[in-house]
Amino acid sequence: MKLTRARVTDYRSIDDSGWVDVDNVTCMVGKNESGKTAFLAALKKLNPVDRVSGDFDLKDYPRKGYVKYRRQHKTSPSVVVRAEFRLDQDEIGEIEEEYGVGVVASPVVMVSKDYANSRTWDIQLNEASLVQSLITEAGLPAEIEERAEAASTIEELRSILERLEIKPPVVGNLLIDINSRFRTSLRELIVDDFLERYLPAFVYFDDYSTMRGRISLPDMRRRSESDSLLDDADRTFMSLISLVGTDIGDLESQMDYEHLKAELESASISITDDVFEYWHQNRQLRVEFDLSNANPNDAPPLNEGTILHIRIWNNRHRVSVQFDERSKGFVWFFSFLAYFSGLEMEDENRNLLLLLDEPGLNLHAMAQRDFLRFIDERLAPKHQVIYTTHSPFMIDLNRLGSVRTVQDMDDRGTVVSDDVMVHDSETVFPLQVAMGYQLAQSLFLAPHCLLVNSPSDQIYLQVLGEAVAAQGRPSLDPRWVTIPVGGADNLLTYVSLLGENYVNVAIMMDVSPKSRARIEAKHGKTGFNSPIKMVEVTKIRDADMEDLFDPQFYLKLVNTVYAHELPYELNMKAISGPSPRIAQRIQKFFEKENVCGGYFDQYRPAAYLLSKHLEFRSELDDSTIDKAASMFNRVNSLLAVNGSGNGSSGYTNGGGNGGAKVGASSAWSFGSSRVSSPA
Q: What digits encode the pLDDT tens for the residues 521-531?
A: 655 544 333 43
Mean pLDDT computed over 313-326: 80
Instruction: Specify the higher pLDDT residue, 660 or 455.
Output: 455
Whether a cis peptide bond, with omega within 30° of 0, leads into 301 is yes
**What are 361-396's pLDDT values in tens digits?**
888 888 898 899 999 999 999 999 999 998 999 998
Residue 535: per-residue pLDDT: 45
- Give the C-alpha separation, 544 to 542, whole Å: 7
**What are 619-671's pLDDT values in tens digits?**
999 999 999 998 898 888 877 655 443 333 332 223 333 333 333 322 233 33
pLDDT band at 487 (very low <50, low <70, confident <90, very high): confident
| Contact indicator for 134, 159 with CB cutoff of 8 Å | no
Highest mean pLDDT among 32-36, 222-226, 259-263, 439-443 belongs to 32-36
Residues contacting 206, CB < 8 A, separation 6+: 37, 232, 356, 357, 358
- Give the C-alpha separation, 628 to 603, whole Å: 19
Mean pLDDT computed over 313-327: 80
Amino acid symbol at 561:
V
- Give the C-alpha separation, 245 to 574, whole Å: 86
Residue 661: per-residue pLDDT: 37
pLDDT for 543 beyond 90: no
Instruction: Specify the higher pLDDT residue, 173 or 341.
Output: 173
| Contact indicator for 530, 664 with CB cutoff of 8 Å | yes
Q: In DSSP terms, which residues pair with 9 in a beta bridge?
A: 16
pTM: 0.71
Residue 439: per-residue pLDDT: 66
DSSP 38-68: HHHHHHHTTSBTTSSS----GGGS-GGGHHH
Buried b (16+ CB within 10 A) or exposed e, 617-656: eeebeeebbebbbbbbebbbbbbebbeeeeeebbbbbeee
The percent helix, strand, coil of the chain (3-state, each to 5) is 50, 20, 35
- Give the C-alpha separation, 679 to 660, whole Å: 25
| Contact indicator for 663, 651 with CB cutoff of 8 Å | yes
Residue 422: per-residue pLDDT: 58
- Give the C-alpha separation, 166 to 29, whole Å: 68
Residue 650: per-residue pLDDT: 30
- Give the C-alpha separation, 538 to 549, whole Å: 9
- Give the C-alpha separation, 424 to 665, whole Å: 46
The region of weakest confidence among 166-180, 233-247, 529-543 is 529-543
Residue 503: per-residue pLDDT: 58
| Contact indicator for 98, 12 with CB cutoff of 8 Å | no
- Give the C-alpha separation, 185 to 188, whole Å: 5
Amino acid symbol at 89:
Q
**What are 170-225's pLDDT values in tens digits?**
999 999 999 999 989 999 999 999 999 999 999 999 987 888 889 999 999 888 88
Residue 587: per-residue pLDDT: 95
